[in-house]
Amino acid sequence: MKTLVITSLLAMWLVAAVAWTSASRVIARSLPDKDLNGYISDHSESRRDVREAPLEDETPMSPIAGGNGTDLPTCLLCVCLTGSVYCEEVLPLMTSVPTLPKETAYLYARFNMIEKIRNGDFADIVTLKRIDLTGNQISEIEDGAFSKLTLLEDLNLSENRLVKLPMLPDKLTYFNANNNHLKTRGVKANAFKKMTKLRNLLLADNRLEAVPFIPDSVRIVHLQNNNITEVNVNTFCKSNDTYYLRPSLSEVRLDGNPVVLSKYHDSFTCMNVLPVGKYR
Ligand SMILES: *[C@@H]1O[C@H](CO)[C@@H](O)[C@H](O)[C@H]1NC(C)=O
Ligand SMILES: *[C@@H]1O[C@H](CO)[C@@H](O)[C@H](O)[C@H]1NC(C)=O
Ligand SMILES: *[C@@H]1O[C@H](CO)[C@@H](O)[C@H](O)[C@H]1NC(C)=O
Ligand SMILES: *[C@@H]1O[C@H](CO)[C@@H](O)[C@H](O)[C@H]1NC(C)=O
């Protein structure tokens, strides 16, 4: 009996303690330190001592990953606004993806010197919706680097040194790999096949010799300035389905390629617009 009383008292005390600590945490967060009265202030101090790790977890700043010669937190080097991180032309030179605050949705890391994207770089940041890595020195992306980012819609890898593409998430609506060194064998024929929401497929200024599968949803295809020598009925249309139409496709650029499009006049019958390119 005595044990039962003690146990229930203990339980009540615990409930009260938990309620109090979470309340004071909310207060501590919503008020600057100097406005807090002594008690709450002291209380949150001691909490900080006791529960260092979880609190650190919640702070928006984290050290830069693989930072060379610098351990400055990302949000001192970059500008962090709710959900967005802007790291453009950062000095000292940024050669790898910085550690991102949790729940980052938009990352702009344009015009830095990032060389490689590793599987771990975005692994914990499944909230990402847009990644812009335009104008870096990226020559390698580990195959799983983007594959877990199920919310990712916009991916801009233009102006880098990629020879091949990694696995890409299916929900992309915008994919830009213009101005790289992409080779045909680095872009699997079915690399974009499962992307049923893809609207912009931008692969201009590369070294491609073949056109990859283009999903029905796509509106704009840029393949200018590659090394494409031929197309066929199945490139845009379907050889076994004469009723197939592609109403969404409104811009196809094949200029700056060796292919002479007039030789393939039966290859564009499903389209509302002819590709831009060489016709004689
Ligand atoms: C950091 O950069 C210096 C040159 O500025 C280089 O010698 C060194 O190897 C780099 N260290 C790392 C860890 O990348
Ligand atoms: C991607 O980068 C290119 C090159 O800087 C730029 O023109 C384009 O607007 C970018 N796309 C998006 C969606 O930001
Ligand atoms: C273009 O492709 C042909 C093969 O179709 C190849 O011989 C040639 O070297 C390529 N040109 C460039 C600039 O890669
Ligand atoms: C055309 O061929 C593809 C496979 O190449 C097949 O999936 C599709 O069902 C065929 N369509 C018709 C209308 O036969």
Write out the DSSP string of 40-86. HHHHHHHHHHHTHHHHHHHSS--BPTT-SS---BHHHHSEEETTEEE
What percent of the chain is predicted at pLDDT more than 70? 74
pTM reported for the whole predicted model: 0.74
Q: Does residue 230 have its Cβ closer than 6 Å to ligand 3?
A: no
Lowest-confidence region among 85-99, 116-130, 222-236: 85-99
Is pLDDT at 69 greater than 50 in this prediction?
no
What percent of the chain is predicted at pLDDT more than 90? 65
Query: Distance (Å, rounded) from C-alpha 101 to C-alpha 108?
Result: 13
Domain boundaries, the chain: 79-151, 157-279
3-class secondary structure, 183: strand
- The closest residue, in CA terms, to atom 9 on ligand 2 is 156
- The closest residue, in CA terms, to atom 7 on ligand 1 is 68
Q: Does residue 227 have its Cβ closer than 6 Å to ligand 3?
A: yes
From the number of C-beta atoms within 10 Å of its C-beta (0-12, 13-18, 19+), residue 34 rates as exposed
Is pLDDT at 44 greater than 80 in this prediction?
no
Q: What's residue 89's pLDDT?
A: 87
Average pLDDT over residues 201-219: 97
Q: Does 79-151 carry CATH code 3.80.10.10?
A: yes
Task: Band the pLDDT of 82: cuts 50, 70, 90.
Answer: confident
Ligand 1: list residues with CB < 6 Å: 68-69
Is pLDDT at 56 greater than 70 in this prediction?
no
Topology match between the domains 79-151 and 157-279:
yes
Q: Does residue 241 have its Cβ closer than 6 Å to ligand 4?
A: yes
- The closest residue, in CA terms, to atom 11 on ligand 2 is 156
Return the number of other C-beta atoms located less than 10 Å from residue 105's C-beta: 15
Interacting residues of 57 by C-beta distance below 8 A, sequence separation 6+: none
Q: Does residue 158 have its Cβ closer than 6 Å to ligand 2?
A: yes
Is pLDDT at 19 greater than 60 in this prediction?
no
Q: Which fold has domain 157-279?
A: 3.80.10
- The closest residue, in CA terms, to atom 14 on ligand 4 is 240
- The closest residue, in CA terms, to atom 5 on ligand 2 is 134
Average pLDDT over residues 52-66: 40
